[in-house]
Amino acid sequence: MTAPGQPLLALRGVKAYYGNVAALKGVDVEIREGEIVALIGANGAGKSTLMMTVFGAPRAREGEIRFAGRDITALPTHEIAKLRIAQSPEGRRIFPRMTVLENLQIGGTVSDAADLSADLDRVFTLFPRLRDRQHQRGGTLSGGEQQMLAIGRALMARPRLILLDEPSLGLAPLLVQQIFAAIRTLNEQDKLTVFLVEQNAHHALKLAHRGYVIVNGEISMQGSGRELLQRPEIRAAYLEGGVR
Amino acid sequence: MPREGKLDRPPDLPAALKEAAIAALVAFGLFVLLIGIRTDQGPTGALVFTTRFGALAAIVAAVFVATALRALFWRRIVLAFGSVAPIPIKRSAARLANYAAAAFLGFALLVPIVFYGNRYLLDLGILIVTYTMLGFGLNIVVGLAGLLDLGYVAFYAVGAYSYALIAQYFGLSFWICLPLAGLLAAFAGILLGFPVLRLRGDYLAIVTLGFGEIIRFVLLNWQSLTGGPNGIPGIPRPSFFGLPFNASEHGFAATFGLHYSPTHRIVFLYYVILTLALLTNWVTLRLRRLPIGRAWEALREDEVACRALGVNTTNTKLTAFAMGAMFGGFAGAFFATRQGFISPESFTFTESALVLAIVVLGGMGSQLGVAIAATVMLGGFELFREFHQYRMLVFGIAMVAIVIYRPRGLVATRAPSVSLGKPKDISAAAVGDARTETPA
């Protein structure tokens, strides 16, 4: 447990580079236990980089990343995962030639083997479609089902914090609503802390308790989700012409 | 691939002729110097220039006709028999594969009994099973873990030399050396694994290729230990629980009251390698159900995702290399004891290529496919021994045909390694299509 007032995940002055190109130019982000925090920004602003930097790929060249009070800046990626930070990465990255069940089992790598069937049940209750398709290969699923699989796979680790990268990307509006409803359920019922990276600013900010806006590798704005939704700059940059 | 279209569409003659003409032109360009012109050594020793325009014309004509026929009729044949096969037929084909595997195993067990009198066929059988085992071993690295290894023969060599040297210097028997050879080969696998941890695809292939050659050159040049190009002769033969296969009164034949025959040893060797191959197969199938085997497959699919899910990719890769190498080492020790003589000659890149071809042709990750591919390839080599100068040509054509028509190998359906309840069958083609259609 984190001490009261102490954030579950904290990034301080994090700088990350691809080669010599700075992708993050000193980012500060805090996520407290039980929160849904949204990170919004345009293409190439550094949203996904920020998320992957938490996992050490790319590694933060400067600054510090702490999870539950522990410095994880230099920890190997798979060790970070063992601390029960899970992610549904950009582009979902499910294992296409393995079955849904096998995908979920890999997701459970860091958890106790004895919990496997209980964890599977939990995922199948949240996404009943996956139960029906458990013996199909991941690559044969539809986009929405693949997204469910990616989130389900992350949940198999019994995470304290789940990072979701663009869970709404390429999905029909109805499916987006389903996915977001599932995220809300996870947060409210299981007290799961969620860090959500989204281009779909409207949906994300409505769902999130707090939000950050990233522009060009720097956090340009932060505030509660409702507050950010009202800001004229945000409406102009991310909402007008988009979803109303 | 030209698989779309309707059955009732009439063949398009002008288009077919055009395609044939282009193919003929390419064939002409290719063969005009290769076949049309030839230089021979004349009676005085000078080169004599001869032309074979007749043969050239025949080949170009053959290409023209074949391409035209293919363009006209192939689509109908494929549509009639191939991709439109209804799902139930495909599903029963998958079931058929199970029976095929059982029949194949039954046949393999009976080979020494059926062909007892035929030494040549028994030797060929041993050769095929040896390569099947090598295929199984390499399948762990290439098929399951997705690490392209072009130097697999190195581990075969390490196993063979381990046995030969240990037997020579310490006088230990085959059965003690076998696990040692496997262990040493596994160690060599880890040794190779470390420097290539961060490499994938082409780069990994090049480094493993180099590793295979390094091992061969070490064997060739470390004369004091390995005998260099002269190899190691007089490697001891295996015994049957301490009973040697010879005509002495303590030999195998005398103990069991049989007339001595050299065939006993061949049959024994056959069953030894068959047992080893089946062991490899069994271990592979078991490992695939365990977390480590699943991690190998996940590694093949997506390394980044693996790491983010808490899979230690370093250990996963090293165990894949070590496992694959260990079975290569077992096969190598067997090879040494069967031949009685080994030299670096036996461990050239061609062997690596052959084993890799068996794995790829058989369908990566499919055990039955590997066994069939080994049988077809080595059996084919023997069958067409008189035409051995065309071996590489046929080999190349077979490879191209497989890549075009069965890009996932002969046996392309991979059974899920775990299932709750009744698994559903999905054809590999569907998986392939889905893969290309889903946005990344």
Among B298, B313, B434, beta carbon nearest to A106: B298
pLDDT number for residue B432? 39
CA–CA separation, B363 vs B370, rounded Å?
A: 7
Which ipTM value was assigned to this complex? 0.87
**Any residues with CB less than 8 A from the CB of A42 and at least 6 apart, and which?**
A199, A215, A237, A238
Strand A36-41 relative to strand A193-198: parallel, antiparallel, unpaired?
Answer: parallel
pLDDT number for residue B413? 55
Cβ distance of A109 and B426 shorter than 8 Å: no
In which order are the strands placed within the sheet that holds A210-215? A85-88, A161-165, A193-198, A36-41, A210-215, A218-224
Asked if residue A29 lies in contact with residue A6, where contact means CB atoms within 8 angstroms, the answer is: no
pLDDT number for residue B5? 46
Q: What is the DSSP string of B56-84?
A: HHHHHHHHHHHHHHIIIIIHHHHHHHSTT
Domain chopping of chain B, boundaries: 4-80, 116-353
Asked if residue B196 lies in contact with residue B188, where contact means CB atoms within 8 angstroms, the answer is: no
**Any residues with CB less than 8 A from the CB of A181 and at least 6 apart, and which?**
none
Among A76, A81, A146, beta carbon nearest to B309: A81
Q: Does B436 touch chain A (CB under 8 A)?
A: no
pLDDT tens per residue across span B325-362: 999 999 999 999 999 999 999 999 989 999 998 998 88
Q: Does B307 touch chain A (CB under 8 A)?
A: yes
Q: Does A98 touch chain B (CB under 8 A)?
A: yes
Look at residue B246 and give its three-state secondary structure.
coil
Among A93, A99, A157, beta carbon nearest to B305: A93
Q: Which residue has the higher pLDDT, B439 or A169?
A: A169
**Minimal-distance CA residue of chain B relative to A171:** B439
Among B310, B418, B422, beta carbon nearest to A78: B310
pLDDT number for residue B97? 72
**Minimal-distance CA residue of chain A relative to B428:** A97
Question: Rounded mean pLDDT of chain A?
Answer: 90
Among B301, B424, B440, beta carbon nearest to A91: B440
pLDDT tens per residue across span A130-155: 999 999 999 999 988 999 999 999 99
Residues A16-39 have a mean pLDDT of 93
Please list the ranges in chain B whose pLDDT falls under 70.
1-11, 75, 77-94, 411-440
Cβ-based contacts of B311 with chain A (< 8 Å): 78, 106, 109
DSSP lists the bridge partners of residue A64 as A12
Cβ distance of B309 and A157 shorter than 8 Å: yes
Cβ distance of A143 and B438 shorter than 8 Å: yes
How many residue contacts between A and B have a Cβ separation below 8 Å?
Answer: 110
Cβ distance of A110 and B310 shorter than 8 Å: yes
Q: Does A137 touch chain B (CB under 8 A)?
A: yes
Cβ distance of A105 and B301 shorter than 8 Å: no
Cβ distance of A157 and B439 shorter than 8 Å: no
For chain B, helix, strand, coil in percent to 5 are: 70, 5, 25
Cβ distance of A82 and B310 shorter than 8 Å: yes
In B399-428, the residues whose Cβ lies within 8 Å of chain A are 414, 416-424, 426
DSSP lists the bridge partners of residue A16 as A24
Asked if residue B177 lies in contact with residue B166, where contact means CB atoms within 8 angstroms, the answer is: yes
Cβ distance of A106 and B440 shorter than 8 Å: no
Structure tokens at B2: 């030209």
Q: Which residue has the tokens 């002495």?
A: B248
Cβ-based contacts of A107 with chain B (< 8 Å): 309
Among A78, A89, A136, beta carbon nearest to B311: A78
Q: Find out if CATH 3.40.50.720 is the number for domain A1-84+196-244.
A: no
Distances (CA, A) of A173 to A91, A151, A164, B330: 18, 18, 18, 57
Cβ distance of B308 and A87 shorter than 8 Å: yes
Q: Does A83 touch chain B (CB under 8 A)?
A: no
pLDDT tens per residue across span B368-383: 889 999 998 888 888 7
Structure tokens at B113: 């009994």
Structure tokens at A225: 């989700």
Terminal Cα-to-Cα distance of chain B (whole angstroms): 23
pLDDT number for residue A123? 94
Cβ-based contacts of A89 with chain B (< 8 Å): 304-305, 308
Among B313, B420, B434, beta carbon nearest to A140: B434
Structure tokens at B121: 């066929």
pLDDT number for residue A4? 61
Cβ-based contacts of A149 with chain B (< 8 Å): none
Cβ distance of B308 and A81 shorter than 8 Å: yes
How many other CB atoms are found less than 10 A from the CB of residue B243? 16
Domain chopping of chain A, boundaries: 1-84+196-244
CA–CA separation, A103 vs A154, rounded Å?
A: 10
* Alpha-carbon dihedral sign for residues B298, B299, B304, B308: positive
Q: Does A91 touch chain B (CB under 8 A)?
A: yes
Among B291, B422, B431, beta carbon nearest to A139: B431
Distance from CA of B7 to the nearest CA of A (A): 27
Cβ distance of B423 and A135 shorter than 8 Å: yes
pLDDT number for residue B4? 47
Distance from CA of B292 to the nearest CA of A (A): 10
Residues A183-210 have a mean pLDDT of 91
Best of A87, A93, A110, A115 to mutate (most B CBs within 10 Å, chain B):
A93
Structure tokens at B83: 């991709």
pLDDT number for residue B391? 74
Q: Does A168 touch chain B (CB under 8 A)?
A: no
Q: Which residue has the tokens 């869970």?
A: A167
Q: b/e map of A87-99 (b: 16 or more CB within 10 Å)? A: bbbbbbbbbbbbb
Cβ-based contacts of B87 with chain A (< 8 Å): none
